[in-house]
Amino acid sequence: MRGARETVAKALALECMRAAKEQERDCYVFAFAGPLEVREVELGMDMPSVLRLLDFLEALFNGGSDFNEPLKRCLDRLTEAKWANSDILLVSDGELRQPGPDIMRKLSGAKEKLSLRVHGLIVGSPEKKRADPAVLRALCTNYLPNGKVELCLSEFEGWASVQADTALAFDWDDVEGNSKRRLAGLAHEKQRTEETKRKRKESRGSGG
């Protein structure tokens, strides 16, 4: 996803960190796009986590929604004691393919053995209802110990506040606009990287 939808997804990551902090818990973010394009960010309650979050919020992805790799990494993380009781929250524009059969089997096993609950949020488009929730519906269907079936899937509906922001007012499928925003974002990320390197160099110099 790109543009305002990407902004909404990142805002949700920020809110997850805030909620985790209130509960004195950590959270782990997997930002993903095309095949093998996955960025991992562990967010705790310390300043390095805040800096990692800022880097994540300023990063850009190429679009696409390949769930195989991020889901695999999520399930691998659940084998660690620290994350064994975690839930998974999937945020997508709905334009994705179902993960492969091996991943689906592992996901089903985690739901059964670890009581894993998978939640989903569809961040579609206010003007073009292209999102097909079929894949997310399958992923976010949980089977409870009492035999009941629980579907934890919602759709973002707060577009009025998003569209009121003039910085986000653009055609959702404007290829030229997407390219300009991406180039501007890359330039900003490069500038931030150079600034970080400069500060580290100054820090090493003052420490010597």
Q: Cα(204)–Cα(207) distance, rounded to whole angstroms?
A: 5
176 pLDDT exceeds 60? no
DSSP letters along 105-160, please? Answer: HHHHHHHHHS---EEEEE---SS-----THHHHHHTEEE-TTS-EEE-EEE---HH
107 pLDDT exceeds 70? yes
| DSSP class of 8 | H
Q: Edge-to-edge, what's the strand order for the sheet holding 118-122? A: 88-92, 118-122, 153-155
Q: Cα(205)–Cα(208) distance, rounded to whole angstroms?
A: 5
Lowest mean pLDDT among 9-18, 63-72, 101-110, 184-193: 184-193
pLDDT at 52 (0 to 100): 82
- pTM exceeding 0.75: no
Which has more pLDDT, 24 or 57?
24
pLDDT at 174 (0 to 100): 46
Q: Cα(6)–Cα(11) distance, rounded to whole angstroms?
A: 9
Burial label, 66 (beta-carbon count in 10 A; 0-12, 13-18, 19+): middle
For tokens 């759709």, name the residue: 155
119-173 confidence digits (pLDDT tens): 988 887 655 555 557 888 889 999 888 888 999 998 887 766 666 555 554 444 4
Q: Which two tokens stand for residue 46?
A: 């310390």
43-102 confidence digits (pLDDT tens): 877 788 778 877 877 776 655 667 888 899 999 999 998 898 899 998 887 777 888 999
User: Where does the pLDDT of residue 175 fall: very low under 50, low under 70, confident under 90, or very high at 90 and above?
Assistant: very low
